[in-house]
Amino acid sequence: MRSCVDVGEAHTTTRRRSWCPLTTRVAFLRAVNVGKRTTPNAKLIEIFRGLGYENVWTFINSGNVIFDATGSRGDLEHRIGAALEEAFGFEVTTFVRTAAELRKVVALEPFTMADGDTYLVTFLQDAPSAAITKSFEAASNDFDTLVVHGREAHWHLRGKSTDTTLKKATWKLVGPFSTSRNITMLRKLVGKLDG
């Protein structure tokens, strides 16, 4: 993302204002539209527009909101999470990636897939250290394979995600919260972003 720049006010050399270019982002919301944790897409769009974000739209019904905004990832995640919790009455941990970052995620292809396999990308709040990454990836087995790239864990399952052998404690190694998306959905989303 480019840095903010100062542009002069009209008819003065002393007053200046800061201008930052908008960047397309994707907010992945954790554990929404599951049970009573419902977040209607129309309401999500309303909330994001209320925060001042532009060109807001959603993709399918699993908590994926696309928008244009300035600001750091951390600030955006905090603001969005707080606004969603106020609106819906429950915690909604949010993971923000730029469109460019998401393109890199789907381009990795670290696995050789077979029929019936599942490939998920799990978004993390922060990139784990080398030591934590080693411990986390060591939990891989004949059914589940884990590969960390930055703030994402790529997860290959030789079957359905409901049959995973991984324990909650494994995921806690890489942070208290995370959210997963199917690679097929992410590729379709990137296709829409580039369309």
d(CA 54, CA 52): 7
By three-state DSSP, how is residue 189 classified? helix
* Within this chain, domains 18-101 and 108-194 share the same CATH topology: yes
Q: Rounded distance, CA 195 to CA 185, Å? A: 15
User: Per-domain residue ranges for the chain?
Assistant: 18-101, 108-194
Per-residue pLDDT of the chain (195 residues; tens, 9 = 90+): 444 554 444 444 444 445 578 999 999 999 999 999 999 999 999 999 999 999 999 999 999 999 999 999 999 999 999 999 999 999 999 999 999 999 999 999 999 999 999 999 999 999 999 999 999 999 999 999 999 999 999 999 999 999 999 999 999 999 999 999 999 999 999 999 998
Q: What CATH architecture does domain 18-101 belong to?
A: 2-Layer Sandwich (3.30)
3-state secondary structure 66-102: EEEECCCHHHHHHHHHHHHHHHHCCCCCEEEEEHHHH
Fold of 108-194: Alpha-Beta Plaits (3.30.70)
This prediction's pTM = 0.89
